[in-house]
Amino acid sequence: MVRAFVLMSGGLDSALAAKLLLEQEVKVIGVVFTSYFFSPVERSRSLAKELQIPLITVDISEEHLKIVLSPPHGYGKNMNPCIDCHALMLKKAKALMPEYNIDFIATGEVLGERTMSQNLNSLHIVEKEAGLNGMVLRPLSAGLLSPTFAERMEMVDRTKLLSISGKSRKEQLRLASEYGISGYSTPAGGCLLTDPGYSRRLRDLVKHDEACGESVKLLKFGRHFRVNNSKIIIGRNEDENLWMEKFSEDGYTILRVEAYEGPITLVTNPTEQIISNYAVPLTIRYSDAPKDREITVLCGKSGKMTKIKGKSMTYETLGLKPI
């Protein structure tokens, strides 16, 4: 039996790619990647269940972070290095082929669907970078592309593959309803690197600090303000506060008002001046404490807190802008 990896993104296109191969009696194994910036594991798991295929999860966090910080083929509209990201995923899948006795790799890519990563040139680049020239089958667009190894070797019948191109999702949606596939996410849904707000914070981080697993995870939470080399991050709700509180053990300075409900504030590279003039007033501003009198704020690291008094101030008054 012919065996193929299908790279799953949690979206409809990769699920359809898997379905088209299953229709040709190929034994399909789904591969889903997880990183600091995306994790379509749950979605892919439920799609794999619908399709009745096994699924392998591969964590590429550290290698992916490296290409995000310095992508040889550049960024898309935001901080998304899609060409290098695809190449990395293909490389990783290729390395797993012998272990799973895999004949070829397929993806749900559609020619012309994404400006940066799904034009003819990009499809060739990612194959080349991954050492998979002519080896990656794109079942949704196969009729518009040169025959791949799997087609030439008659592992799959090329005439039964599709010739979809462009951004319209009409044909994919029609096929989803024909095949009864439902649990998919929206295209590119879930990659933080395509989000303009997240990308802005990431750019700021890279400019001022060391970007590592912890610091990039923190960019998802809270309001962020930059003051020289320090950053003040203020939780927006209870879930964020709970999550951010853990960072006090990782060397971040933490603040909270003493006698009222309020946010957790984290400060990186703190100085006395940054804490008193910026972090304390902002922490009070976003708390339930009265705004017209002095309030006590607890400030410290790893549970060793001292008391500082201050008054509420808005970020506009402090001359700051959220990042």
Least CB distance from residue 309 to ligand SF4, whole Å? 45
Exactly one of 85, 150, 216, 274 binds ligand SF4 (CB under 6 A); which one?
A: 85
Nearer to ligand SF4, 14 or 312 (CB): 14
Which of 288, 323, 282, 75 has its CA nearest to residue 197? 323
38 near ligand SF4, judged by CB under 6 A: yes
Least CB distance from residue 68 to ligand SF4, whole Å? 8
Least CB distance from residue 75 to ligand SF4, whole Å? 9
How deeply is 317 buried, as exposed, middle or buried, from its count of CB atoms within 10 A (0-12, 13-18, 19+)? exposed
DSSP 8-state code for residue 259: S
Nearer to ligand SF4, 5 or 38 (CB): 38
264 near ligand SF4, judged by CB under 6 A: no
Task: Output the CA–CA distances (angstroms, integers) from residue 268 to 67, 105, 169, 230, 257, in the order listed.
Answer: 25, 44, 44, 5, 18
8 near ligand SF4, judged by CB under 6 A: no
Contacting ligand SF4 within 189-248 (CB under 6 A): 191, 193-194
102 near ligand SF4, judged by CB under 6 A: no
Contact by Cβ (8 Å): 36, 59 = no
Nearer to ligand SF4, 95 or 153 (CB): 95
| Among 47-55, 78-86, 215-223, 266-274, the segment contacting ligand SF4 (CB under 6 A) | 78-86
d(CA 172, CA 175): 5
Residues 6+ apart with CB under 8 A from 263: 222, 234, 235, 236, 240, 241, 256, 283, 286, 287
Instruction: Provide the token pair at 141.
Output: 């667009």
Contacting ligand SF4 within 152-191 (CB under 6 A): 188, 191
| Angle between helical axes of 61-69 and 82-100 (0-180°, round to 10) | 150
Q: Which residues bind ligand SF4 (CB under 6 A)?
A: 38, 80-82, 85-86, 117, 188, 191, 193-194
